[in-house]
């Protein structure tokens, strides 16, 4: 009986433990899992001084499973957090045709913890074609063709 109580206590404690987090900047305290639209609000906070009209932002169609490998062309692979999470890909210079420019891979786990990774290449798995475009840069509005 004592062993059963210890097991129940440990189970209850584990139920309250959140995913591990090395780089939390912003958090969410609402209902779990965090919905995509609220995770997107956290992403906008991550952009710092970047304006929304200067970046393209993509999101995974569904939450990624814990510890999913995200493959980036020519860069070190990224492993998603220890629990389900949204993957946001932010192209910081979308009007440049070639790659090798700044971009971010940002995960928002189901509890609202944010993990950001800076890279210089786009994702190949999941590919951008398998992601939903949330925001497209509109810098062309000021372009004056001669």
> Considering only CA atoms, which of 28, 87, 81 is closest in space to residue 62?
87
Q: Strand, helix or coil at 20?
A: coil
* Of 15-19, 42-46, 129-133, the least confident: 15-19
Tell me the pLDDT of the chain averaged across its residues: 80
Q: Are 125 and 89 within 8 A, CB to CB?
A: no
Task: Measure the CA–CA gap between 46 and 38, rounded to whole angstroms.
Answer: 13
User: What DSSP designation does 34 have?
Assistant: P
Task: Measure the CA–CA gap between 126 and 88, rounded to whole angstroms.
Answer: 11
Q: Are 113 and 27 within 8 A, CB to CB?
A: yes
Task: Give this prediction's pTM.
Answer: 0.75
Task: Measure the CA–CA gap between 40 and 45, rounded to whole angstroms.
Answer: 9
pLDDT tens-digit readout, 93-121 = 988 778 889 999 999 999 999 999 999 99
Distances (CA, A) of 146 to 97, 137, 143: 20, 22, 10
- End-to-end Cα distance, the chain: 84
């Amino acid at each position: 009986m004592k062993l059963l109580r210890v097991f129940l206590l440990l189970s209850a404690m584990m139920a309250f433990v959140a995913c591990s987090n090395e780089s939390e900047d912003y958090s969410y305290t609402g209902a779990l899992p965090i919905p995509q639209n609220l995770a997107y609000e956290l992403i906008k906070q991550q952009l710092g001084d970047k304006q929304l009209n200067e970046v393209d932002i993509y999101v995974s169609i569904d939450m990624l499973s814990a510890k999913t490998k995200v493959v980036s062309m020519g860069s070190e692979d990224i492993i998603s957090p220890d629990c389900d999470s949204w993957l946001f890909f932010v192209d910081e210079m979308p009007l440049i045709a070639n790659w090798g420019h700044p971009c971010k891979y940002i995960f928002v786990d189901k509890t609202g913890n944010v993990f950001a990774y800076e890279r210089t290449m786009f994702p190949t798995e999941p590919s951008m074609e398998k992601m939903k475009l949330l925001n497209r840069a509109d810098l062309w509005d000021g372009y004056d063709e001669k």
